[in-house]
Amino acid sequence: MERLKQYALQYAKLVFNIPHNVVNKNFSDQGTRSASSSAANYRAACRPKSHPDFINKLKIVEEELDESIFFLEMILELHPSFKDTTSKLYKKGNALLSIIVASLKTLRVVKS
């Protein structure tokens, strides 16, 4: 969970540096929300009511991480000067997403 929390915090720090305008605000808000939501939903997944509830919450984490990565791509398209910061965050997001996807595959096999 700590890695997801750090990802959300690093995403927020990136957003602090983006110039304020209508488009940036939208992409920044959506990206920050989805990055922090992935951490919050993972935390909730750690206290599942049942096995299906655990899987469902991890699916939400997967969706939110993917969305946060999408908004990183949008930010990079608009601000190529942020390439170093966004690519590091992009790699972290993809690594976390890979872990969640692998966990979901394992959980589905175990359930079968």
Domain ranges of the chain: 2-111
Greatest C-alpha distance within the chain? 49
Residue 72: both structure tokens together: 């990183």
Query: CATH number of the domain at 2-111, please?
Result: 1.20.1440.60
pLDDT band for 109, please (50, 70, 90 cuts): low
Question: Which residue from 63, 60, 50 is spatially nearest to 111, judged by alpha carbons?
Answer: 50
Alpha helix (H) residue ranges in 17-50: 22-45
Residue 41: both structure tokens together: 């939903």
Span 53-68, pLDDT tens digits:
999 999 999 999 999 9
pLDDT band for 30, please (50, 70, 90 cuts): very high
Question: Which residue from 70, 71, 44 is spatially nearest to 58, judged by alpha carbons?
Answer: 44
Query: What pTM was estimated for this model as a whole?
Result: 0.89
